[in-house]
Structure 1
């Protein structure tokens, strides 16, 4: 037996499991739709172009001595005349409009500092949050004194990137009622480059009675669906244009079945991350269903056998159906 570490998880693979995993990775590399080996470059590798005079030099490229060179290790991408190098692995790079999940690290003057897996903490201004009841008005000194009643240190929140400034600072907002404090769930952290960007990052898995927020920053929140929680007549739920209920600030009692579904989904995401597969609802649910159909216990999903089984399953699907994550 040998210990194998992959993206924060440790797997103890036998010789046969190691050979099966290696074979699956070879099939995945050769599967139709993957990048051709010539598309990968290292730092200072030349990038071959047909007509250098008409080529637009994009991110990750530089001209030196009349030759176009790569300044990053990654994949060469061409869009018309624009040539760029996309790094294989990188930290989260915030873009305006991104849905993110973050943790409050500091409560300051008229603003909170939030950790969103960025190179520095970002700002959430008091003027950029919803007041209780959705009231729209100017913030006062009383609101500033009561900031901790909204968010305090270590609170998890969902938000949207409002602006990215030239000095590198990032500002968030939670003005929509679908954003706010997160409760009744579990946080899973994955590399942000594995998160597939979609039009919608809020997902309701009705079959599991679970809601999921896939943050573009690699923080994924899995919680009990609001309609699965016991009703509380003392708390009025307010819905916005999206139909999303306002997040309650208190944890509720969650049924055993829903808690099991949350843990199974979280482990499905961890397995996909360990294998380096793109993470989005279809792949998460597919791994979730595979664990149930194979009778794999939740605690055994992070074992070597299930990891190898998912890799073999995906390699077989891509080679037979030209399917690519």
Structure 2
């Protein structure tokens, strides 16, 4: 994925050498217990007799552990598994996701969430606009389009799987709901690690950044929730400065994704600050020179981090 995106940058010879040098250094700085690329049938350096647990993408054959997938070797204590580069999103209960409404049906909304099948948000699994906890009535069903309609972008939480295999969501907290005045970005899901916090308020820019576990990322103007209301109140327009901040942060997400780095709020903010400090136009962030600069900055950051640990 990363190689394909970087080939589209049209790097000149100098930039190509600088980028390859930076990526090679990053590979050397990877922890020794992970990061090794393997193909199908490649041997994984581990001894089953040492109590190693074989995880996803591994198989024991002739007394040795071999890979059954193309990807990167990962180890967690004694567990060894292969993480594929282009795997689809695999939902887990409690995941924070961002999705787009594709259908308003009876008592439910159907969402596209970058998964092999659509997700379902039941009317009974979300807060109503009046903020009052009560049973849903026929009137509520008739007014469903006033809450969410087709093409609306919303944030929700994975509630679980039903017996028919469908994925159900819930949005009972005030932090969930409709997202407005921003950009929806799609990145490889494996770049978004599951963390305690996926909602980020970038106070310096006045923006909300939501890193969806399903690889959908939202960058938009900050939405405050009036006390006593069940849904946030949106603005009819946003300022030019806010629009520029949204584009700068969104391009930061795109650059980090193209380089194949883990998507964190710190990395995104660092990319935005690098754009400002170098007095670069926002559109030029997507050019080859900025990609090379961000790769070199990542090398410096990891070297400094390793020195602090040492």
TM-score normalised to structure 2 length: 0.89
- Distance in structure 2 (CA, Å) of the matches to 1:64 and 1:166: 36
Partner of 1:314: 298
Compute the displacement of 1:254 (Å).
1.0
Which position in structure 1 is the counterpart of 2:171? Answer: 174
Equivalent position SS for 2:42: coil
Of stretches 199-208 and 84-93 in structure 1, the one that deviates more from structure 2 is: 84-93
Shift of 1:42: 2.0
Distance 2:11 2:82 in 1: 35
Shift of 1:223: 1.3
Q: Distance in 2 between matches of 1:15 and 1:107?
A: 52
Query: How many pairs are equivalent?
Result: 306
Cα distance change of structure 1 residues 35 and 55 upon mapping to structure 2, 3 Å threshold: closer
- Residues 118-127 or 85-94, more deviating: 85-94
Identify which of 243, 266, 287 aligns with 2:250.
266
> Equivalent residue for 1:291?
275
Task: Give the conservation status (yes or no) of the 8 Å contact 1:43–1:71.
Answer: yes
Select between 139-148 and 56-65 the one with higher mean Cα deviation: 56-65
Whether 1:136 and 2:133 are equivalent positions in the alignment is: yes
Cα 1:53–1:274 change in 2 (3 A) is closer
Structure 2 CA distance, aligned partners of 1:71 and 1:51?
16
Q: Partner of 2:214: helix, strand, or coil? A: coil
With 281-290 and 128-137 compared, the bigger mean Cα shift is at: 128-137
Q: Distance in 2 between matches of 1:321 and 1:274?
A: 23
SS in 2 for 1:132: coil
Distance 2:38 2:8 in 1: 30
Describe how 1:212-227 pairs up with structure 2 within 5 A.
212-226=209-223
Deviations 1:138-160 (A, max 9, x none): 22222222211111111100000
CA distance 1:256–1:75, shift in 2 (3 Å): same
Map 1:225-236; keep pairs closer than 5 Å: 225-226=222-223
> 2:34–2:73: 8 Å Cα contact kept in structure 1?
no
Deviations 1:198-230 (A, max 9, x none): 211111111111111111111111111236xxx
1:254 aligns with 2:246: no
Choose from 96, 99, 117 the match for 2:93. Answer: 96
> Of the candidates 143, 157, 161, which is equivalent to residue 158 of structure 2?
161
Structure 2 stretches lacking a partner, 5+ long = none
- CA contact under 8 A between 1:158 and 1:181: conserved in structure 2? yes
Is this contact kept in 2: 1:317–1:323, CA < 8 A?
no
Matches of 1:219 and 1:198 in 2, distance apart?
15
2:130 aligns to what SS in structure 1?
helix
- Per mean C-alpha deviation after superposition, the further-off stretch among 182-191 and 218-227 is 218-227
CA-CA distance at 1:167 after TM superposition = 5.6
How far did residue 5 of structure 1 move?
Answer: 5.0
Deviation at 1:73, TM superposition (A): 2.0
Q: Paired residue for 2:286?
A: 302
Task: Give deviations 1:127-178, integer Å, cap 9, x for gaps.
Answer: 1111111121222222222211111111100000111347642110111111
Unaligned 5+ segments in structure 1 are 228-235
* Cross-structure match for 1:85: 82
